[in-house]
Amino acid sequence: MLTSLTKPIRLFVLLNSLVLGLSQLPASALADDSSGWAYGKNGWEWSNPDTGSYFWAGLRFQTRYSTRVDEPLIPDDLREEGDEDLHLNRARYKIGAGFGKHFTAYHEYDLRNGRLLDLRGTWKPSTYFRLRAGQWKSEYNRERVDSSGKQQFVERSVTNYWFTVDRQSGVMASGRFASGLPADSSWWLGVLQGNGTNTSGDGGKPMVLGRYQWNFTRNVLPFSQSAIPRYEEAHGSLALAVVTNDSPYTRFSSSGGGNLPGFEKGEDNQYRLTQFLLEYAWHKHGWSIQSEAHYKEIDDQKSGEKNDLYGAYFQVGLFPSSLASEWPEALEFATRVAFVDPGRRLGDNNTELTLAANWFFNGHRNKLTTDVSWLTISDIDTLEAGSDWRFRLQWDISL
């Protein structure tokens, strides 16, 4: 393992030195005051303070080493080797823009796989009401909406594969009410295509999604993991969400619509999905807590069979420097437990225990993450079980 990582580590040291040097230059060295351009937190940025308009463009790369596959589904997956060397796991460009004070646009493209990820516009007339249209990660569960570049761990938990509704095309209304009061709340209500990314509608029933979030601390917690801001006042939320959809698919990912093990691609609207979510998140003084509980019913309207899936995860993170000044400010530790019961039709129960450490060179824009997991998959049909360790190392960098 050490031999295979020698060259990638040397490359990392060289590139990271260049990136850190760029990020530490004063703004005056990177800006042209006459044009309004500067290098900032999102990459190369332009803004007009008088109108509120802005534009920015950036790149993001993620390299990863893993001793096992990242999404093990059956016991045999735990016997498969992972990457023999650091490989490019993600490569994307991102573009954001604001037109006046009430309209924004965002575009993200996957350079590694050659596919459109996000293309959306948002109208923001007030805090109480916003309207978004296009393709993006629908606001169902926090773990999925949290960018892969803003995770505490190398990758999301084992629940993500089974329960995410991922990116969809459609329209979503949202807002916040009772701001600063005990009832401080955020809400989302959307009508989405329900066939995943980069697809045309099938003429059937759309996906309907609703999410209610109680901001019980009277502060809105952004969709981002790790307590990097070290909030003096607690930021937390408790959320409920529901989604229903008829489509040929039983799962979704950045690749679009797909099917869980045990299900073949169906006919138009063959599978009716009904999902419920209970979610909790909280940050304060370098501590972070996040958890989700999932239920999903798959109703095969052709065969009449139903399958119920359950899953949950709980994770907690801490910057030890919040407790003792002897610890480095850039270091964070985190742990996560998770399980999935895919139902009798699928048979395999997945569990995960993961320990992680992060070193933030520049927040989530430049960080090293390593985690170690003990994974167990048991097949209730064959009584076969598999367990093994997985080690991962990842560098995530945004330019």
Q: How far apart (Å, rounded) are the C-alpha atoms in residues 302 and 261?
A: 18
pLDDT for the residue numbered 45: 92
- Evaluate if residue 339 carries a pLDDT over 90: yes
Q: How far apart (Å, rounded) are the C-alpha atoms in residues 126 and 102?
A: 8
- pLDDT tens digits for 48-58? 888 889 999 99
Distances (CA, A) of 376 to 155, 188, 196: 17, 35, 29
* Encoded amino acid at 366, one letter: N
pLDDT for the residue numbered 12: 57
Element (H, E) at 53: strand 53-66
pLDDT for the residue numbered 33: 53
The two tokens of residue 341 are 């019961």
Mean of pLDDT values over 58-74 = 87
What pTM, to 2 d.p., does this model score?
A: 0.88
- Evaluate if residue 18 carries a pLDDT over 90: no
pLDDT for the residue numbered 68: 83
In which residue are the tokens 């997945």 written? Answer: 350
pLDDT for the residue numbered 204: 65
Q: Mean pLDDT of all residues in the chain? A: 87
- Evaluate if residue 373 carries a pLDDT over 60: yes
Q: How far apart (Å, rounded) are the C-alpha atoms in residues 129 and 151?
A: 28
Spelled out in words, what is the top-level CATH class assigned to the domain 2-398?
A: mainly beta
Mean of pLDDT values over 170-178 = 96
Q: How far apart (Å, rounded) are the C-alpha atoms in residues 366 and 360?
A: 6
Mean of pLDDT values over 143-166 = 94
- Evaluate if residue 23 carries a pLDDT over 90: no
Mean of pLDDT values over 262-290 = 92
Q: How far apart (Å, rounded) are the C-alpha atoms in residues 295 and 273?
A: 10
**3-class DSSP state of 78:** helix
Distances (CA, A) of 327 to 57, 193, 320, 333, 364: 35, 48, 6, 11, 19
